[in-house]
């Protein structure tokens, strides 16, 4: 039998949680955030928007149905560490070909379970997201070291997009419509939604210039989701401004970048929106959609220029969930219409985008 793994989680505000370890024997730092999704752990772990973060699942029973490539939103696990209440080590599902623990071990990611995750969530809720340090070890761990690391971690200037964006140009599908997807850390789900609607998707690195994008002769442009602070991507959003002749659809970080492109500001939310149950009001239709959310920043409404209007709003905190150009076929949402994980209520947005191509 393998020796039992131990684990510890240290939060920058001082709390320390000792639990059982799983995944890789490793010490990692990151911003600690939580998601309220009850299913879809594999989709979340592999979502590039979580790059640089230690993820807490509020749902306590994790790993039940194992792992399968179909559930991946990128090629690898993107988080720095995973914090859960109970780990299922013997998953059951017709498609499962690995357990969560095994996959995390293979990909070098540490995980901790058996701790009061609800207490951690409440700390994050009260104090906001913060740096944390997670360590999985066999014998002993130097807690002081971990505290020092958690307290001294500063990720505010790190460009996580650089880390997760594709380095080369990739092509998916072969439909009639051509969409250039600017990859800031795009989820596979977005590509799937486009190809299934008869689009050819050309995925380009985030640093691709407007001129280069135009050389692909796109019918439309998708500005993808991605991790980190949009304010670090000033240059990239300036490029977007040059592409306003094309139909554009922004998702999550894409929404923030589009807003930035026209001079709007973004700000950091206390503990973000992460989960699959946030109600968003489609203002024009006066209808509610339940959405998948994963963002730590929001667009500042006061700074939004007049040519844009707010089309969607979060029913809980009233933050902007969608904007649209008043005349041009350019729109964006702060949430994830591609779901994975989460409800499919907003997939119609892809239909609307493709219609405009």
Partner 1 sequence: MSVRKNNIKKVLVIGSGPIVIGQAAEFDYSGSQACASLRAEGVEVVVVNSNPATIQTDNDVADIVYIEPLRWDVIEKIIEKERPDGLIATMGGQTALNLAVELHEKGVLEKYGVEILGTGIESIRLAEDRGKFKELMQKIGEPVPESIAANSMDEAFEFAREHAFPLILRPAYTLGGTGGGIARNIEEFERLLELGFNLSPAHQVLVEESVLGLGEFEYEMIRDSYDNCITICNMENIDPMGIHTGESIVVAPSQTLTDDEHQMLRSAAIKIIRALKIEGGCNIQFALDQKTGKYYVIEVNPRLSRSSALASKATGYPIARVAAKIALGLGLHEIRNAVTKTTPAAFEPALDYCVIKIPRWPFDKIPEGDRTIGTQMKSTGETMAIGRTFEEAFGKALRSIEVKKPKIRPEDIEYHLTAPTDLRIFAIMEALKKGWSKERICHLTNIHPWFIDRIENYVMVELRLKREPFGRKLLHEAKKHGYSDEQIASIIGHEAEMVRQMRKKAGILPAYKMVDTCAAEFAATTPYYYSTYEEENESIPSCKRKMIIIGSGPIRIGQGIEFDYCCCHAAFALREMGIEAIMINNNPETVSTDFDTSDKLYFEPLTYEDVMNIIEHEKPEGVIVQFGGQTAINLAQKLEMSGVKIVGTPAEGIDIAEDREKFKQLLHKLEIRQPENATATTEEEAVAAAAKIGYPIIVRPSYVIAGRGMQIVYDEESLRNYIKEAVEVSERRPVLIDKYIEKAIECEIDGVADGERLFVGGIMEHIERAGVHSGDALNVVPCVRLKKAVQEKIIEYSEKIALALGTIGAINIQYVVQNDVIYVLEANPRASRTMPFLSKAIGIPLIKLATKVIVGKKLSELGMREMPKLKHYAVKGVVFPFLKLPGTDTVTGPEMRSTGESMGIDDTYPAALWKALLGAGLKIPESGGVAISLKDGDKERAAPLAEELEKLGFVIYATPTTARFLPPNTNLLKKIADGEPNIISEIKKGKIHLVFNTPKRGRIANTDGFKIRRTCLERNIPCITSFEACEALVEAMKEAREKKISVERANEYGKDKKRQS
Of 64 and 159, nearer to partner 1 (C-beta) is 64
Restricting to residues 136-195, name those near partner 1 by CB under 8 A. Answer: none
Quote the CA–CA distance of 20 and 40 in Å, as a whole number: 22
Residue 178, SS3 per DSSP: strand
User: Is the peptide bond between 347 and the residue preceding it cis, with omega within 30 degrees of 0?
Assistant: no
Instruction: Give, in order, the Cα–Cα distances in Å from 266 to each of 51, 183, 220, 354.
Output: 19, 20, 25, 28
Q: Is 65 in the site for partner 1 (CB under 8 A)?
A: yes
Q: Applying CB under 8 A, does 23 fall inside the site for partner 1?
A: no
Cα–Cα distance between 163 and 184 in angstroms, integer? 9
199 flagged as catalytic: no
Q: Does the protein bind partner 1 through residue 37 (CB under 8 A)?
A: yes
**Could you say whether residue 119 binds partner 1 (CB under 8 A)?**
yes
Single residue of 46, 256, 294, 340 touching partner 1 by CB under 8 A: 340
Is 270 near partner 1 (CB under 8 A)? no
| Nearer to partner 1 (CB atom), residue 105 or residue 282 | 282
H or E segment and range at residue 6 = strand 6-11
Please confirm, yes or no, whether 126 is among the known catalytic residues. no
Q: Which is nearer to partner 1, 238 or 316 (by Cβ)? A: 316
Query: For residues 36 and 356, which CB has a smaller minimum distance to partner 1 in the complex?
Result: 36
Kindly determine how many residues on this chain lie close enough to bind partner 1 according to the rule CB under 8 A.
52
Distance (Å, whole) CA 265 – CA 196: 34
Rg (CA), the chain: 20
Q: Which is catalytic among the residues 252, 278, 295, 312?
A: 252
Does 98 bind partner 1 (CB under 8 A)? Our answer is no
Whole-angstrom CA distances from 293 to 7, 36, 102, 132 are 29, 10, 27, 22
* Under rule CB under 8 A, residue 1 binds partner 1: no
Among 34, 160, 206, 249, binds partner 1 (CB under 8 A): 34
Give 295: exposed, middle or buried? Use CB within 10 Å, 0-12, 13-18, 19+: buried
Torsional sign, CA 124, 127, 133, 139 = negative
Considering the complex, what minimum distance in angstroms separates the CB of residue 296 from partner 1? 14
Query: Should residue 69 be labelled a site residue for partner 1 when binding is judged by CB under 8 A?
Result: no
| Binding stretches for partner 1 (CB under 8 A) | 34, 36-40, 43, 58-61, 64-65, 68, 70-71, 85-86, 88, 90-95, 115-119, 121-122, 125, 275-279, 281, 286-288, 290, 315-316, 339-345
Active-site annotation, residues = 252, 336, 338
């Amino acid at each position: 039998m393998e020796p039992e793994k131990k684990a510890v989680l240290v939060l920058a505000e001082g709390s320390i949680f000792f639990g059982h370890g799983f995944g890789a024997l490793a010490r990692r730092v990151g911003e600690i955030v939580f998601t309220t999704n009850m299913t879809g752990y594999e989709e979340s772990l592999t979502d590039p928007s979580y790059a640089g973060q230690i993820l807490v699942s509020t749902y306590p029973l994790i790993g039940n149905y194992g792992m399968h490539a179909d559930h991946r939103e990128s090629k690898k696990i993107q988080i720095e560490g995973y914090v859960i209440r109970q780990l299922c080590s013997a998953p059951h599902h017709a498609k499962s070909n690995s357990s969560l623990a095994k996959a995390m071990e293979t990909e070098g990611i540490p995980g901790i379970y058996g701790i009061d995750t609800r207490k951690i969530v409440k700390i994050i809720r009260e104090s906001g997201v913060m740096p944390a340090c997670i360590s999985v070890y066999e014998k002993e761990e130097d807690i002081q070291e971990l505290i020092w690391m958690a307290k001294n971690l500063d990720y505010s200037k790190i460009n996580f997009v650089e880390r997760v964006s594709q380095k080369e140009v990739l092509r998916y599908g072969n439909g009639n419509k051509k969409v250039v997807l600017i990859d800031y850390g795009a989820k596979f789900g977005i590509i799937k939604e486009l190809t299934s609607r008869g689009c050819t998707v050309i995925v380009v690195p985030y640093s691709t210039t407007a001129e280069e994008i135009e050389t692909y002769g796109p019918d439309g442009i998708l500005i993808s989701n991605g991790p980190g602070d949009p304010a670090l991507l000033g240059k990239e959003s300036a490029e977007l401004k040059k592409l306003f002749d094309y139909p554009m659809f922004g998702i999550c970080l894409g929404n923030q970048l589009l807003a930035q492109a026209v001079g709007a500001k973004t700000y950091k939310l206390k503990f973000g929106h992460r989960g699959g149950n946030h109600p968003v009001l489609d203002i024009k239709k006066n209808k509610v959609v339940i959405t998948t959310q994963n963002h730590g920043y929001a667009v500042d409404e006061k700074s939004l220029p007049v040519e844009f209007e707010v089309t969607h709003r979060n029913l809980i905190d009233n933050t902007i969930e969608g904007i649209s150009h008043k005349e041009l076929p350019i729109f964006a949402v702060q949430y994830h219409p591609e779901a994975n994980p989460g409800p499919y209520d907003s997939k119609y947005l892809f239909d609307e985008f493709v219609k405009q191509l």
